[in-house]
Structure 1
Amino acid sequence: MSPSAEITLYLSARDKIVALTSGTGRRWAETALDLAGFTETPDGLHTLALEDQAQARHALTHLHQAALNCQVAVTTHPRPYLGDIAEAIVTALPGHWMADIEPLREQRDQHYLRDFVWETGALHGLLETNRLGFTAILRDGGGTELLLAERPSDGSYIVGALAPSPDYVRVTAPAPRSVIASNARLATRFIQTRLLPDYERAVHLSRLAEAEEDLRWAQESEAGPYDTVDLQAALYRFRAHATAFIATLRATTPLPVEQAVFLDRVEKGLSLDDLDGPDPEALAEAGTVWLHDGEELIEMARAATPPAYPTPAKPKALSTAALPPPAVTAVTPAPRR
């Protein structure tokens, strides 16, 4: 009779073993872990401390016996615990990043995450076709969310962006490209130099598209910019985008005096210090500023669009006819990999 559940053991750098249960008979797997002396964490994982090696060996021996009795398979994962990789990445990234570990006990857990992946490429396909144990969501606290996963084919790590919430911005720009690295250090470097700039550019372009669409619609509307629920919603979106545009413009090279004065006036007129609920009079003023100065702000923001990360060029194929004949006495060393 084949086991109806499986326990996968991951060795963590924090002197512990992390156990992940999966399968239809997962309760039997959890029972085996409890009998062996594993500690259940608030997120439903089980861990075994390794400080006392004799006790740890005894617990692992007991686990294999209990798993046999409960008809549960026990396997050891060959790679480090993904939670350690995630913590190493968020610790090295600038700012205040946090990592949330996502145990994937069933295939539907992966499909749920897949639906939020922005790029329909390698990471999307990995969640679609491979059986993973864990993923990790990396958050910066400002709305940026990245998904970290391990590729079973070669043990490398892939990091891609999760699509921003539609309440934040309706994404229309090309999705940022995922990055692949062999270790946490390289993953951190690629996130900083490729993924995050790609992400910021895509969000910026999506903001521009949504802000321009709302402004054109408001200009063509016969009602005032705050007279209907839809117009109020469009104005609210524009004010949120304007906050990001102004912050981006001020963070770039020093602005000419007239542009700096313009931004100060727009910021005050849109009541950006009170996005949640300005009074009706301030809302009316914000609507007037939106219609009068919105286009100029959009154009300034468009000029400040972050540059695209260059796509690596494919090497040109060399014709064998163009290669010089090898010298008879020369020894050609093997190329470095």
Structure 2
Amino acid sequence: MPDHDPEELDSFATILAQLLPGAWTREFRQHTAHDDQHFLTSDVWDMNQVAEALASHTLKHDVILTRNDGLRLFLMDHPRHDEEFLVASMAPANTHAEAFRGVREPDGIAIPADPEQATEAITTGLLPRYESALAQVQDNAARITRSSAKPDTLVLTWTETGDLSTTTEEPDVAEILARNGFVHEPDGTAYTLSGDDTAEQARSVRTAGAQLTALGVSLALRHAPQRAPLGTVPVAAPHAPTRTVRSR
């Protein structure tokens, strides 16, 4: 690996941060032999030449470029070519691992040491793939969060008039209910499905159930607890008279 001057990488990154579209900041990092290289580069989102370079060469310094919306780029010396650098996307931190399933890595690229040419290569060859992959991961993460937050079962309760009532604070669940005839009550969380037409009511429940199942939510029906008629009081069972036994 060529013995690169760390100031060269830092100066190059400074110009790159000014030329790239958007507002960017840079963090120049120097590493010692005792630093954990795997930990330092664990967010590098690459399974190609950047990953190979990190696996086969000791990293002495690098730069993290961060855009004002949080998007990050990893910049390092090219281990085989003095006139080039390597740049790669960095995966979003604190994201559920499952969110990356099925998303292809936006592998990094080699860029020339000329900042203007490098900016063009990053803007047209890396950022579009990076932003597309990032959007997929963020969408997956949001879906995982919604799935874990919403209840597994939505309970529909029969009322005394034959209507069905339920409550939810989940927007996507509420949308399905409203789309299938449930009327939103003024309290903000209650939804009622009229029982005036039982056949229509049954169709609405079946359709809503199928759509909710796709969200991972099942339906359960239950009857409201029976209440004693107004003006009545439960009567306690009569007790046998107590007999006193006297001793002689």
Q: Which amino acid aligns with 1:189?
A: E
Contiguous gaps of at least 5 residues in structure 2: 156-166, 177-248
SS at match of 1:120: coil
**Which of the residues 136, 140, 161 maps onto 2:67?**
140
Match of 2:128 in 1: 197
Q: Percent identity?
A: 23
Question: Given residue 154 of structure 1, which amino acid in structure 2 is its aligned partner?
Answer: H
2:24 alignment partner, one of 86, 90, 97: 97
Partner of 2:27: helix, strand, or coil? strand
CA–CA distance in 1 between the matches of 2:80 and 2:146? 48
Q: How far did 1:223 drift?
A: 6.3
1:317-336 superposed matches below 5 A:
none
Report which of the two has the higher share of strand.
2
Q: Deviations over 1:35-76 (max 9, x none)?
A: xxxxxxxxxxxxxxxxxxxxxxxxxxxxxxxxxxxxxxxx97
CA RMSD of aligned residues (A): 3.2
Shift of 1:293: 4.4
Q: Distance in 1 between matches of 2:148 and 2:96?
A: 20
Distance 2:8 2:19 in 1: 18
Instruction: Flag the structure with larger Rg.
Output: 2
Q: What corresponds to 2:50 in structure 1?
A: 123
Instruction: Give the secondary-structure state (helix, strand or coil) at the position aligned to 2:14.
Output: helix
Return the offset for 1:196.
1.4
Which structure 1 residue ranges, 4+ long, deviate > 6 Å from structure 2? none
Where do residues 171-190 of structure 1 align in structure 2 (5 Å cutoff)? 171-172=100-101, 173-183=103-113, 184-190=115-121
- Residue 193 of structure 1 aligns to a residue in which SS? helix
Following the alignment from structure 1 to structure 2, what is the Cα–Cα distance between the partners of residues 166 and 76?
34
Give the superposition deviation at 1:130.
1.2
The answer as to whether partners of 2:50 and 2:109 remain within 8 angstroms in 1 is no
Question: 1:151 matched to which residue of 2?
Answer: 78
Counterpart for residue 32 of structure 1: none
Q: Quote the offset at 1:97 in angstroms.
A: 0.1
Give 1:291's aligned amino acid: V
Q: TM-score if structure 2 supplies the norm length? A: 0.55
**CA positional deviation for 1:78:** 6.5
How many angstroms does 1:219 deviate by? 6.1
Equivalent position amino acid for 1:171 in 2 = F
| Paired residue secondary structure (2:126) | helix
Q: Secondary structure at the match of 1:108?
A: coil
Cα deviation code 1:117-144 (max 9, x no counterpart): 1112211221221134321000013221
Q: CA deviation at 1:80?
A: 6.3
SS in 2 for 1:148: strand
Bigger RCO of structures 1 and 2 (CA < 8 A, at least 6 apart): 2
Compute the displacement of 1:213 (Å). 4.2
Counterpart of 2:94 in structure 1: which amino acid? P
Give, in whole Å, the separation in 2 of the partners of 1:293 and 1:137. 42
Q: What is the Cα deviation at residue 216 of structure 1? A: 5.1
User: For residue 326 of structure 1, what is the aligned residue in structure 2?
Assistant: none
Q: Deviations over 1:84-129 (max 9, x none)?
A: 1101110101221011101122263432223221112211221221
Q: Give, in angstroms, the shift of residue 195 of structure 1.
A: 1.4
Displacement after TM superposition at 1:290 (Å): 3.5
Unaligned runs of 5+ in 1: 1-74, 225-283, 295-337
Judging by fraction of residues, say which structure has more helix: 1
Deviation at 1:218, TM superposition (A): 5.8
Give the residue type in structure 2 aligned to 1:159. V
- Relative to the length of structure 1, the TM-score reads 0.42
**1:291 pairs with 161, 173, 189, which one?**
173
